[in-house]
Structure 1
Amino acid sequence: MKSPREKSQGWNITEAERAVYRNRSQASSAAKAKALRGEGPKPIHPINVPKLHPEDLMLQLPSHGLRSLSLFSGGGGLDLGFDRAGFTHVASYDILPDAGKTLTQNRRHWRVFSGEPGDVTHIDWRSYRGLVDVIHGGPPCQPFSVAGHQKGKADRRDMFPEFVRAVLEIQPLAFVAENVTALLGKKFSSYVQEEIEKPLSPTYRLIKFILSAPDFGIPQIRNRVFFVGFKTDKIAAKYQPPQPTHHWKKEEGSSIRQAIQLDLFSPGERSQLPRCMGIREALGLPDLGFDALAPTIRSGLTGPRHTTSVLSSVSAQKNWEKLQIWPNGVAANREQAHLFVAKNGHFRLSVADCAMIQGFPEFWIIEGAVYMALGQIGNAVPPPLAYRIAASIYKALS
């Protein structure tokens, strides 16, 4: 059951326009059903075997005893990253029942609260005081994203105040909050000051920085802001944000990599790091003589209707076309993607492919219908990136 803040706002379109979308959806469903019965066009692409194995980017570390609590857990990007970095899981909270199923399916021993029990607005967090060392979470980004209406505090989905409340009631040694980079823009400077910095600053020293996914081996254009807080000035003073583990070198003909805000290496030093794969290489697709980072994977739960597309913009469409990858109508699995030939003959993505592009290992199963799985994937912090943040926090606290 969704709370009001999770419900999409309907399109303001005419009945005629609505009929066009409905007919298009019905035609696509019919074509898919025909293809899966073996009655569609002959498959073009063999079932792919990815070359990128995200678990190799986050080798399991031994348990060190620090305990973490997860809010707005979603598909478990932060949860898995902290788990691989040796943190002991205390509990996870998310409003979506399918997110709870994902977490429980992958970690049977974890305490997971989802649906109404996972609604953070109803929790008295004081019972966790003394039981949690680090709180982490990614409050919904829709109030701040350039892809939305950017209503900020006026958006009923704004949950940053709830994250702050949890921190103040539990009083952990440290916390991590993730969101879109637009939150650091001029438009939301007052919001950050009033809703985040002002209530936390009496108790915590706050550090803000932006990380880029390909700097950690994830073949996708994705920049995100992180707010990290420590209870003592001494620990905060020695904290170092994660330094890049990989580099992406722009090759002739490839798309231009987005600039990052945290650049701790000179060009020469950066080139000595392992190379981040391009998306075609990562997916195990044939070499076209061209490769690039994948455009940002869109959540299937954003926008006025749920979708099985990961397309995020017009420019992203052009880049997907250059890569000869079809980002619309993501298939439930690789077998179905193989059978359901895209209109333009390009390679069709599966849920497993999108999860890999986001940094989830094959062993991490995302539950729910395709649109719900894509929602959990697109909203997640890439686990290898979360892993590096978790490791950096452990280093500061140890």
Structure 2
Amino acid sequence: MGDTKGTLKVVEICAGAGGQALGLERAGFEHDLLIELDDDAVTTLRWNRPAWRVTQGDVADRNVWAPSDYAEGVDLLAGGVPCPPFTTAGQQLGATDERDLFAWAIEQVGIIRPRALLLENVRGLNQPRFAGYRQHVLDRLREFGYAAEWRLVNACDHSVPQLRPRLILIAMQPDDLAYFHWPTPVGNPPTVGQALLPLMSANGWEGAEAWARRITSIAPTIVGGSKKHGGADLGPTRAKAKWAAMGVNGWSVADTAPFPDEIFEVGPKLTCDMVARLQGWDDEEFRWEFSGKKTARYRQIGNAFPPPVAKALGLAIADALNKSTIPTERYQEVEHDPIYRALRERGDFISLDEIARALKFPMKPHELEYRIELLSRDFHIELRSGSPIAYRLGTIKAFRGKADHTRHRNLHHETNRTS
């Protein structure tokens, strides 16, 4: 394990363009390794922090890096694994989505044995649809000797001028987790107008101050998209309508701030620098530069974890590992899916009546059947016909590290197709 009296060491997977990395650095963590697949994001990381060891490639490819090389020497394993398997804007395929790396990341905890784990993803993972998946994560971490907790954290609670809710997973050994306290909100964030006025008026636009005064709210959640997405814009139609109501043209991203006498029917477009400001980057504590063309820069920014939120979480994790806070008297893990737990604890076939008796609250047979159907989307579940019908829980369908898994072939094909 790492030395809590010295610098805390972190390995970061799916590092993106460095939002989480910068925040953790500001919290006092030192990166031993960052792994990222995207060319432009890797260039951004190396440009801003030449001293960091940045490895490019598929994070699950043992030819790219070997998690066992970092066993027992890492204080924090952190990352933001792909969100499309869980986002409400997608099909929510969960464990059957070949982009899903959440279950794989959990398995690395058993190899690396970090003192703490920090993973973030979209709030869609917090829906009832994925209750069994979340329970699997908690149970698997418990097998490795860790206690864990999920919480929905809003970026606007940490001075970032957009809501941007993210589901955060924190895990530590129980004695350390007792000292962990979720970061407290720091007050109201600036409005979009307040945050962007210096940038919007950079070229002398005469309407900048009036525009900024009219915008009295924070931004809709920034959407970065993917290489399959057509270009840089501020999200789907519903999001663009919200931006338009605020006085922002969200159909594309501008190259420069408005010039002195420009007049807009809807409002000005945002530049990449403005979007970065809404994600929490600034010219002082969180100064950062992004590589690539406009669309590449926008995607890096839009998909990032806001640095101020990462810093707040990093400080809370560091305080726990250093035991510099008051410990809680008792840690009690929240149960996310009692039906999954009942199936798992039986380890063999179990009928609906037996599942119902194992629950702490009543549930009708058709409700149980629906919940089992939800579980079957992410887990192999065997059905035994007869009277009564019985179910047996199998393994999770998600990729967890198999060398011959189809995700490797499909990732190679998709990388070549979009490069």
TM-score normalized with structure 2 length: 0.68
Gaps of 5+ in 1: 1-62, 248-275
Given the superposition, is the C-alpha separation of residues 290 and 124 from structure 1 closer, same or farther in structure 2, using an over 3 Å criterion?
closer
Given the superposition, is the C-alpha separation of residues 137 and 346 from structure 1 closer, same or farther in structure 2, using an over 3 Å criterion?
same
Name 1:322's counterpart in structure 2. 245
Please tell me whether residue 283 in structure 1 is matched to residue 225 in structure 2.
no
Whether the aligned pair in 2 keeps the contact of 1:133 and 1:174 (CA below 8 Å) is: yes
2:281 to 351, 360, 381: 360
Name 1:198's counterpart in structure 2. 139
1:347-367 C-alpha deviation (Å, 9 max, x unpaired)? 111111111100123430111
Q: How does 1:240-319 map to 2 (within 5 A)?
A: 240-247=181-188, 276-284=189-197, 285-286=208-209, 287-301=212-226, 304-314=228-238, 316-319=239-242
Distance 2:155 2:115 in 1: 26
Please tell me whether residue 120 in structure 1 is matched to residue 60 in structure 2.
yes
1:148-197 C-alpha deviation (Å, 9 max, x unpaired)? 11100111110112211222211000010001111121101112223x22
Distance 2:135 2:94 in 1: 13
Q: Which has the higher contact order (CA 8 A, sep 6+)?
A: 1
1:293-343 C-alpha deviation (Å, 9 max, x unpaired)? 1111011317x52321022441x22321222112221134x35x6599796
* Distance apart, 1:111 and its partner CA: 0.2
Larger radius of gyration: 2
Q: How does 1:155-194 map to 2 (within 5 A)?
A: 155-194=97-136
Whether the aligned pair in 1 keeps the contact of 2:85 and 2:100 (CA below 8 Å) is: yes
Distance 1:99 1:367 in 2: 7
1:76-135 C-alpha deviation (Å, 9 max, x unpaired)? 111000101111111100111111101001001000012x3x533334200011331101
- Identity, in percent, stands at 29
Name 2:301's counterpart in structure 1. 377
Aligned residues: 300
Distance 2:195 2:132 in 1: 41
3-state DSSP of counterpart to 2:7: coil
Name 1:42's counterpart in structure 2. none
Distance 2:90 2:310 in 1: 25
Whether the aligned pair in 2 keeps the contact of 1:330 and 1:349 (CA below 8 Å) is: yes
Question: Which amino acid in structure 2 is aligned with residue 245 of structure 1?
Answer: V
3-state DSSP of counterpart to 2:269: strand
Given the superposition, is the C-alpha separation of residues 290 and 99 from structure 1 closer, same or farther in structure 2, using an over 3 Å criterion?
closer
Whether the aligned pair in 1 keeps the contact of 2:67 and 2:111 (CA below 8 Å) is: yes
2:312 to 388, 391, 398: 388
Moved more, 155-164 or 342-351: 342-351
Distance 2:48 2:236 in 1: 28
Given the superposition, is the C-alpha separation of residues 129 and 377 from structure 1 closer, same or farther in structure 2, using an over 3 Å criterion?
same
* Distance apart, 1:210 and its partner CA: 1.1
Distance 1:87 1:282 in 2: 28
3-state DSSP of counterpart to 2:320: helix
